[in-house]
Structure 1
């Protein structure tokens, strides 16, 4: 039987895991990358590259800890800090591609012009991919058995249309053009937005600017990278056990963590959404202190701009603004494919389980990375790629178009009821567990309880490390167990550069056993 050829569009995180997943399933990937390097948005450039959406800036570090954001069978080096600077993460991607010999499958400086159904799609499910060589301008058309769209869901920057904005005489820019706050020394800067990049840009600019103002339409929930006891927040919250708890308990846990580091009300950050999961979130460790020392002032939504400043919905005004930076997100961007297949709005986007266009007759096209995660993105995207490759190889099946569309409609209705708008922003663990189940890679907890109780305990109550999806099933990795056992030490080893004496504390063995028994009982009751 002839090996199926799969087009992989993009060589960022999603593209790399897709190439590797295809190889694991005996498929032949052909990747097209419009730039001359892998890494996608993780490649730092002073200038905004053509067709680029989001971009990294000098101060950027990962929002998720290294053990939660690494690939499932390629742990980060012990020397890597718990939260990873963008240049270090890019090198990690290059090491990954080198280790698994992915480079030979990548065609650099090649833009995908269009993806459309081949003439024989109705019977074969094949696709016609038109590409253009960026150096020569030569176009080429190739027929593929499947396509994995990995180019990133955000391309076109969104700048809201405010009254008076066209009359404002200062500098206006989107956050994708921001590189360093040092460029705004002694300036008055207004940042618009309430999510991660708005916080990063405000904090970095506040080190150099005369004054920074942060305008938020609905406020935000600020989550610190470090949780209680110095444990990375995502390692505390993104566990299988926590994901099984009632929503009210999870809400209580995360809001208490947020409130323990920042008094949102006093700092002017308070979200209009009383529920954490329904509001805007910002991962940031410093914005509270920068507000408390006066370098950042939180402001409500903008009502209009003047020639030199802005007015806000509480009636206040700020004049002498030199720079306005809009950290206001992006539109969906898959311009090389028809909107009827991948829509350009969340309202019309019909992706079955965020991966497969629901209405297609043949499940031979998958979108990897078209979902925002309240936590680490990489493990979710990798499982999406593994699932898609398994479907392409015929080893995993999907329901028919009618059932797929019904499921999309159900999810859209639920999202609209929960959030009042269409969005693709979900917690990682339930989605990871779903994908893993589809490919047979979910950790076999009950089996582990008998064969390796300690490992079972780590999988149940510890962080849902990406490596746990390499313990069993297709693509299992012999180093998975060791990686899980050493994960916490790997987090600490890079920062413990000074030896100190540890005070030993005695604990009741009876209390420990009681806690373990209770938690296991709860899990057994709710797990299956």
Structure 2
């Protein structure tokens, strides 16, 4: 990169798309940041290249029947279903689902490794920008020259004015001695991704150093709730040997052979992980007992979105408004979209039912007067 005479920077420095006006832009890295920047740049730039080494699944925020993707995908039922199937079958089903919006192979996006889970890219515009030629998907960069780059698949030089490195982040603890928290191969020696396993006293907690397939905010909040109870002495950690054993098991990242393959550092199953922490603080909702006392709520918890309200139904930090919030969440979801009041037309089934009812009434009257 030192030979390059144009402008280059990491995605964390990006602020506004005006910098790309009438420029030839190369974005390296196809995570959510890189894709967002490439799409924004394509509205102003002369040409935009998006370079990816391994490809990615791209999904729209607007999912089945127009529902938000996470409210459909992230349910206890879906999670249980996925985790009960062999990984190969889950990967096949996931591929079919991802390609139902558009065929990723036709757009040069299909992941090379379709078994190991990679965070899906959420972008509603990317397929449209690719099919209109505004964003050009390219393989990895082979060579950077003074004012151009060469991609691995072709000897042709492409003129480039700006390079954006959307190549992710590394993490470290430079403010702590390595004996406190040691980082190896993208993993830290943290019990349940929170507590250093080998310390004599559990007085240090790390919050948010995890990559769940789900929302980071409720994950971090649940970690904080659990950690505070440990720090206050209300919950106790297992012996050091037990914690180190679990830490080492997580570091090995051995696939179970079932469900999605969380084989990369810090990856975790969102619902399963949060349920682990909630169980420790006695705050996990018991769906079996709830089926007897409040079956409507139990079915909503199981088949509906696994929204953070579920984590406040019981135990420490219980919120009295949690049940109502769960039962009315779809109303709030579509409040923003239903800004035009419509008179709902009756369904075909309702119309047929009325017609048959009317004909039955006429038949009855005819029989009476015979």
Question: Is 1:217–1:300's contact at 8 Å kept on the other side of the alignment?
Answer: yes
Which stretch shifts more, 240-249 or 291-300?
A: 240-249
Q: 1:433-454 CA deviation, whole Å, 9 max, x = no partner?
A: 1111111110121221111111
Could you tell me how far apart the structure 1 residues matched to 2:299 and 2:292 are? 11
Could you tell me how far apart the structure 2 residues matched to 1:476 and 1:353 are? 23
Residue correspondence of structure 1 range 54-203 to structure 2 within 5 A: 165-203=1-39
Partner of 2:56: 220
Partner of 1:395: 234
Question: Is 1:374–1:428's contact at 8 Å kept on the other side of the alignment?
Answer: yes
Structure 1 residues 176 and 415: CA distance shift in structure 2, 3 A: farther
| Selected match of 1:410 from 236, 249, 252 | 249
Partner SS for 2:12: helix
Query: Are 1:483 and 2:325 matched, yes or no?
Result: yes
- Say which one has the larger Rg: 2
Deviation at 1:334, TM superposition (A): 2.4
Partner SS for 2:71: helix
> Which ranges in structure 1 are unaligned for 5 or more consecutive residues?
1-164, 509-528
Deviation at 1:253, TM superposition (A): 4.7
Question: Is 2:39–2:129's contact at 8 Å kept on the other side of the alignment?
Answer: yes
Structure 1 residues 422 and 235: CA distance shift in structure 2, 3 A: closer
Partner of 1:455: 297
Structure 1 residues 260 and 501: CA distance shift in structure 2, 3 A: farther
Partner of 1:434: 276
Partner SS for 2:55: coil
Deviation at 1:319, TM superposition (A): 2.5
Partner of 1:146: none
Deviation at 1:367, TM superposition (A): 0.5
Partner of 1:257: 97
Partner of 2:219: 380
Query: Are 1:233 and 2:34 matched, yes or no?
Result: no
Partner of 1:319: 158
Partner SS for 1:278: coil
Query: Are 1:270 and 2:106 matched, yes or no?
Result: no
Aligned residues between the structures: 343
> Which ranges in structure 2 are unaligned for 5 or more consecutive residues?
351-370
Structure 1 residues 468 and 226: CA distance shift in structure 2, 3 A: same
Q: 1:95-141 CA deviation, whole Å, 9 max, x = no partner?
A: xxxxxxxxxxxxxxxxxxxxxxxxxxxxxxxxxxxxxxxxxxxxxxx
Deviation at 1:211, TM superposition (A): 0.7
Deviation at 1:422, TM superposition (A): 4.8
Higher relative strand content: 1
Partner of 2:366: none
Deviation at 1:293, TM superposition (A): 0.6
Structure 1 residues 354 and 346: CA distance shift in structure 2, 3 A: farther
Question: Is 1:181–1:206's contact at 8 Å kept on the other side of the alignment?
Answer: no
Deviation at 1:205, TM superposition (A): 0.6
Partner of 2:188: 349
Could you tell me how far apart the structure 2 residues matched to 1:338 and 1:281 are? 35
Deviation at 1:257, TM superposition (A): 3.2
What is the TM-score with the length of structure 1 in the denominator? 0.62
Question: Is 1:194–1:281's contact at 8 Å kept on the other side of the alignment?
Answer: no
Partner of 2:314: 472
Deviation at 1:412, TM superposition (A): 1.5
Question: Is 1:415–1:422's contact at 8 Å kept on the other side of the alignment?
Answer: no
Partner of 1:369: 208
Partner of 2:285: 443
Could you tell me how far apart the structure 1 residues matched to 2:281 and 2:345 are? 45
Which stretch shifts more, 240-249 or 212-221?
A: 240-249
| Selected match of 1:337 from 176, 179, 189 | 176
Deviation at 1:342, TM superposition (A): 2.3
Could you tell me how far apart the structure 1 residues matched to 2:143 and 2:119 are? 23
What is the TM-score with the length of structure 2 in the denominator? 0.87
Partner SS for 2:99: helix
Deviation at 1:197, TM superposition (A): 0.4
Question: Is 2:91–2:114's contact at 8 Å kept on the other side of the alignment?
Answer: no
Could you tell me how far apart the structure 2 residues matched to 1:224 and 1:175 are? 22
Deviation at 1:244, TM superposition (A): 1.1
Partner of 1:310: 149
Partner SS for 1:262: coil
Q: 1:7-60 CA deviation, whole Å, 9 max, x = no partner?
A: xxxxxxxxxxxxxxxxxxxxxxxxxxxxxxxxxxxxxxxxxxxxxxxxxxxxxx
